[in-house]
């Protein structure tokens, strides 16, 4: 927040909540960062958990994109950065449902880039690897997390601040010829798998 930036907190799984939050707002850039995680084998996934994850990660991201387009058009264009995941390119065991939702975000990014280019709206995605947050700190310090860290080229996980340069690059108006792309920032994890 500040410096012309704002954070909007809303129930992204319900499209009506978003249009109310964004109605009348003026902005030319959006970071579409809605998401939750779950770990389970595909064949053991709980239906309610799957629906909650898809409603949040996929549909919530779509509703945010839809709600933001009027303001971006009114601004004469702008940029949307969808937050995907390296798992959207390359899932690991027990991440299938989450990986499916993030793969869909990557495809949504490509489709939206094609559809919104005529309105001077660029749409790209950032696909981070594992980032240490309160949400996943316990997993990342578990035996499975330690093994995953060993398979990452840099032998560590990111902290959130390390994603900012890539995010700012994607938001920068000087980056006006890039759309429909996914930038992966994963410490070399995907290169070493």
Distances (CA, A) of 164 to 117, 126, 172: 25, 10, 12
Axis crossing angle, helix 60-74 with helix 96-116, rounded to the nearest 10: 20
Q: What count of other Cβ atoms lies within 10 Å of the Cβ of residue 164?
A: 9
Region for 190 from its dihedrals, namely left if φ exceeds 0, alpha if ψ lies in -120 to 50, beta otherwise? alpha
Q: Which residues contact 182 (CB under 8 A, 6 or more apart)?
A: 84, 88, 89, 106, 109, 124, 125, 126, 127
98 is annotated as an active-site residue:
yes
Given a contact cutoff of 8 angstroms between Cβ atoms, the answer to whether 120 and 91 are in contact is no
Q: Which of 34, 68, 98, 157 is catalytic?
A: 98
* Tokens, residue 16: 């009506």
Axis crossing angle, helix 60-74 with helix 15-22, rounded to the nearest 10: 30
Q: Which residues are known to be catalytic?
A: 98
């Amino acid at each position: 927040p500040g410096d012309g930036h704002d954070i909007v907190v809303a129930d992204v799984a319900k499209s009506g909540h978003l249009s109310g939050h964004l109605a009348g707002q003026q902005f030319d850039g959006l970071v579409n960062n809605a998401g939750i995680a779950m770990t389970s084998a595909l064949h053991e996934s709980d239906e309610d958990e799957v629906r909650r994850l898809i409603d949040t990660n996929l549909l919530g991201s779509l509703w945010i994109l839809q709600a933001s387009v009027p303001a971006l058009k009114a601004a004469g264009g702008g940029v949307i950065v969808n937050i995907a995941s390296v798992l959207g390119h390359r899932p690991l065991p027990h991440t299938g449902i989450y990986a499916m939702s993030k793969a869909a975000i990557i495809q949504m990014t490509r489709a939206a880039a094609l559809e919104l280019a005529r309105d001077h709206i660029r749409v790209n995605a950032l696909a981070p690897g594992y980032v240490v947050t309160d949400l996943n700190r316990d997993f990342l310090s578990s035996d499975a997390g330690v093994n995953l860290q060993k398979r990452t080229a840099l032998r560590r996980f990111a902290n959130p601040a390390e994603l900012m340069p890539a995010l700012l690059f994607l938001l920068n108006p000087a980056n006006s010829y890039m759309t429909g792309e996914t930038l992966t920032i994963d410490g070399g994890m995907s290169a070493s798998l």
